[in-house]
């Protein structure tokens, strides 16, 4: 029953006079997705963005940048390599590449390690890499091009990664025959993301993925509800500090995780919760972003061990 919900992530920016990435077409992107052993389930589009829901997470394509998140045992680095193969003769048009791997429950079940991924990338790129957070606790890995880039002032990213969700909402998310409409209501998505077009999917026997877009803004949420290894991620470029509802505070209260991480790029995040802030890392990156990592935990009640099936 174990499934690694924790994601790998690529964010890549082309210069403004490059070919539009959207014009490359669905077949091109379906091939990029296939390289990491995922597939496209459905998509939504608006004037700025094509948002693909994948069998393992999400792909967002704008004219001059794309964002791809994949979970499970996908090999996202292969998708990045396939993209770079296509642009081999136009590397000068690539302004920024960021490759992340989030805190994994069972890293030994992955096909490659972060070190292997970035050693492969470093053969064709010139990047630097960091670990944010302690190795024995939650940590996040990032590799990025060691190349100056000036993000737009509104270019901020907010990631909330929740582990071991608990309570009524978590219980519903673990039931079979759950439905998307009920999950949207439970999460209060229409209120949290007014004006967004939402595309979502319920997996068998459970598990939920959601993409939402409004102009050039996106939000994406992925739920792996499995007891013992549940994981819920929410990510957006919407400035949640300026938003009418504090989305992160709402989700933490609703899903009551045992621990959660907040990762942000060019933004500080404030959250109200009973959890203790155990660690915080702040790292200015040579690619123009300041990355922040915060690890929160709550003290747990005394419990019994989990028996392992033999």
Tokens found for residue 289: 């972003």
Closer to its own copies by CB, 244 or 307: give it. Answer: 307
Under rule CB under 8 A, residue 135 binds its own copies: yes
Check if the beta carbon of residue 184 is closer than 8 Å to that of residue 198. yes
Instruction: Find the binding residues for its own copies in span 247-306 (CB under 8 A).
Output: 258-259, 276-283, 291, 293, 297, 299-300, 302-306
Coil, helix or strand for 227? Answer: coil
Under rule CB under 8 A, residue 141 binds its own copies: yes
DSSP class of 143: E
Find how far residue 178's CA is from the centre of its chain.
23
CA angle 88-126-104, nearest 5°? 100
Pick from 42, 106, 274, 286 the residue near its own copies by CB under 8 A: 106
Backbone angles phi, psi at 107, to 5 degrees: -65, -25
Stretch of 59-67, 90-98, 123-131, 198-206 lying at the interface with its own copies (CB under 8 A)? 123-131
Pick from 10, 79, 81, 127 the residue near its own copies by CB under 8 A: 127
Gyration radius of the chain over CA positions = 19
Under rule CB under 8 A, residue 9 binds its own copies: no
Check if the beta carbon of residue 71 is closer than 8 Å to that of residue 35. no
Stretch of 38-46, 124-132, 209-217, 243-251 lying at the interface with its own copies (CB under 8 A)? 124-132
Instruction: Find the binding residues for its own copies in span 189-228 (CB under 8 A).
Output: 228
Stretch of 44-52, 87-95, 119-127, 211-219 lying at the interface with its own copies (CB under 8 A)? 119-127
**Distance (Å) of CA 15 to CA 50, 113, 149:** 18, 30, 10
Q: How far is the CB of 1 from its own copies (least distance, A)?
A: 12
Sign of the Cα pseudo-torsion (186, 190, 196, 200, in order): positive
| Rounded-to-10 torsion of CA 33, 34, 35, 36 | 70
Pick from 70, 95, 103, 256 the residue near its own copies by CB under 8 A: 103
Closer to its own copies by CB, 117 or 200: give it. Answer: 117
Interface residues with its own copies (CB under 8 A) are 103, 105-110, 113, 115, 118-119, 122, 127-132, 134-138, 141-142, 163-164, 228-229, 258-259, 276-283, 291, 293, 297, 299-300, 302-308, 310
């Amino acid at each position: 029953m174990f499934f690694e919900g924790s994601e790998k992530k690529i964010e890549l920016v082309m210069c403004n006079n490059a070919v539009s990435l959207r014009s490359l077409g669905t077949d091109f992107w379906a091939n990029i997705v296939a390289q990491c052993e995922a597939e496209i389930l459905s998509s939504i589009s608006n004037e700025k963005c094509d948002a693909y829901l994948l069998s393992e997470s999400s792909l967002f394509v704008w004219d001059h940048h794309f964002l791809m998140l994949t979970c499970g045992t996908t090999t996202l680095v292969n998708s990045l390599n396939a993209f770079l193969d296509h642009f081999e003769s136009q590397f000068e048009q690539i302004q920024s590449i960021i490759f992340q791997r989030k805190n994994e429950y069972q890293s030994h079940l992955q096909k490659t390690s972060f070190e292997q991924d970035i050693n492969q990338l470093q053969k064709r790129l010139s990047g630097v890499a960091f670990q944010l957070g302690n190795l024995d606790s939650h940590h996040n890995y990032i590799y990025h091009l060691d190349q100056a880039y000036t993000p737009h002032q509104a270019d901020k990213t907010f990631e909330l990664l929740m582990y071991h969700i608990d309570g009524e909402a978590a219980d519903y998310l673990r039931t079979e025959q759950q439905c998307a409409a009920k999950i949207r209501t439970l999460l209060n998505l229409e209120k949290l993301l007014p004006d967004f077009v939402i595309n979502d999917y319920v997996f068998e026997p459970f598990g939920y993925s959601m993409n939402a877009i409004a102009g050039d803004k996106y939000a994406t949420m992925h739920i792996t509800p499995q007891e013992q290894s549940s994981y819920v991620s929410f990510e957006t470029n919407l400035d949640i500090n300026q938003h009418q509802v504090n989305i992160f505070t709402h989700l933490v209260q609703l899903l009551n995780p045992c621990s959660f991480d907040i990762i942000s790029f060019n933004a500080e995040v404030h959250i109200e919760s009973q959890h203790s802030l155990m660690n915080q890392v702040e790292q200015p990156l040579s690619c123009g972003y300041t990355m922040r990592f915060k690890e929160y935990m709550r003290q747990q009640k005394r419990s019994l061990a989990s028996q392992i099936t033999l």
